Structures are given as structure tokens and as C-alpha cells.
Amino acid sequence: MGLACGLQAQTPASAPKPTSGDGATPPAAGATSRDALPSRPATGPTFPEIYLRDLPGSRTIWSLIETADPLTVVDPIDNGGLYLGEPSLVANFTGSYTQAGFTLDGVDITDPERTGTPLAYLDTQLVRSVGLVSSLAGPEYAGTGPTLTVLSRAPFPALGGTLQAAWLPRPLQATNDSPEAPSIARYGSAGDGSLLLSGPFRGAGNVLLFARNARSRRFERNGTSPLDGRVSSVFVKASTRPRDGDEIRVVGFVGAIKRPFAGRLRFPARSI
């Protein structure tokens, strides 16, 4: 279970430069991440909303990185969402995956107990852009490895939202009848539901609320023991302008994740 929150105040003198666009066009080759300090621009690609919307993925930032950045290694390969709730490990160049960092709207959300993974399991519906800082990182970045800088969507100025639901039953799954070359993993079943609401809220400016509940069951190779994953999360973002030129933003996230024990293969004859 994780909890993360942050408060930001922005004035014209300290406002960051705009990102690489509103997602209408991809960034040019060699574009750099824009949320670094202006005096020390960090290097690395930035992926706007068009990548999140049009490239195949499983609603995670890791599936985007493994698809769009050839210089970054992501382990394991997400493979259509089989590993729900399990954050992938990210590394590039000579940096260790244990030193990878994560920021959400400028707030450090790197897990202090399990380094190299974030506290928040972010859905791509919330994300406006993803940047990957691979070198020349400033002091605001915690680790020496790659840092994923995530910018969330801004609240809508008018009331609106989306409701999504999906279900994948077991009878629709393909089967592999070859015992000599079993599938690495296969779905048992999966279900996913999410709600996004946003708009003006009296006394609090514009507010964005996102809630998601997803479950999956998979089997690995010839195994018959089900491996279950579950993600439940709520994300809130509010922004208000007390006067012209000033903006206050509040970001909050709470989530609960269930996933198989990563070291289960070391205890094959025991229930963990």
C-alpha cells in the first residue's frame, strides 16, 4: 500500500518552461526533458500524450518506455498486462536499476524501501507526458540512474469525464498444447474498471479525480497454481489561481497493490 502527496506553488518568475507541446505532434529527434532546472538541462527523450494514446501498451509507463526508447532496458517485458501490479525495473547506459528514480509533477515518488520502483502505480489515463532523464541530472533527482519524470493531466475547465470497463474471460484465451515449449505466461482471466471525473469545484478551483480497480490471474509455463495481481488506486489533483500569474496545485495518491512474491521460485515446496 502506498501514499504520496505534494504541494506546489508557481509564480511567473519560477514557472517552468512549456513541455514539448500538447501532444499534437511528436517531439523532434534529440528533444530533452523539460522539467529540469533551466540552468542545467537534463538529457533524455520526452514522450507526449500522442505516444501514450497511439502506441500499443498496457496502460503503464513501463510499456511506453520499452516500446519507444531503444536505449533503455525494461525488465520484465510487460506483455499485454500479464504482470499487473508488478513495477518493471528500468536501466540504461551504465546506471543500475536500483538507482532509478521517479517524479510526479515535480514530487519525488521513488519508493524508499524498494529502490528503483515508484510508490504510485500510475495509469496512462492520468499522464500528459513522460520524460526520461538519462544524464546530467540535477540535484533535485534522487538517484544516479535513469529518472522518469511524469507530468499528470491538468484538471478540465469544464465538467467532464470517462468511464471504462473491460473483462477478459478464460475461454477466450489461446492454448499451447506443446509440453516441450510451454508459454512463458498466459492469462487465466482479467478485469479492469476506471472512472475519471474533472471540472470546476466550488472553493477549490479545478479538480481531477481518478479511481481504478483492476485484477488479473495468470499461469506461468506448465504451472497450475494461479498467480493473482490486483491494483486499486485513487488519484486527486486540484489547481487554483488565487490571483493573476499565481497558481497552487495539490496532488494526492493512495493505492493498494497485490502481486505474487518475487522470490517464490526459491521456495518451490512451500506456501508463501
Q: Which three cell numbers stand for residue 270?
A: 512451500
Distance CA 19, CA 8 (A): 17
State the burial class of residue 252 (Cβ atoms within 10 Å of its Cβ: 0-12, 13-18, 19+). middle
β-pairing, 227-240 with 205-220?
Answer: antiparallel
pLDDT attached to residue 9: 47
Whether the model pTM is above 0.85: no
**pLDDT averaged per 10 residues, the chain (length 272):** 46 41 43 46 76 79 82 78 82 78 86 80 86 74 78 88 88 76 84 92 83 90 85 90 84 87 69 54
**Strand intervals (E) in the chain:** 2-10, 46-48, 72-75, 89-92, 101-104, 107-108, 127-133, 147-152, 160-168, 185-201, 205-220, 227-240, 247-258
Spatial CB neighbours of 164, under 8 Å, sequence gap ≥ 6 = 192, 193, 194, 195
In the chain, the largest separation of any two C-alpha atoms, in whole Å, equals: 68
Instruction: Tell me the per-residue pLDDT of 100-122, one tens digit each, with 9 for 90 and over.
Output: 888 888 888 888 877 788 888 88
Q: Is the dihedral of CA 92, 97, 100, 102 positive or negative?
A: positive
| Short-list 93, 95, 59, CA closest to 78 | 59
pLDDT attached to residue 232: 92
Instruction: Tell me the per-residue pLDDT of 2-55, one tens digit each, with 9 for 90 and over.
Output: 444 444 444 444 444 444 444 444 444 444 444 444 445 557 788 888 888 888
Q: How far is CA 2 from CA 210, 234, 255, 256, in A?
A: 16, 11, 5, 6
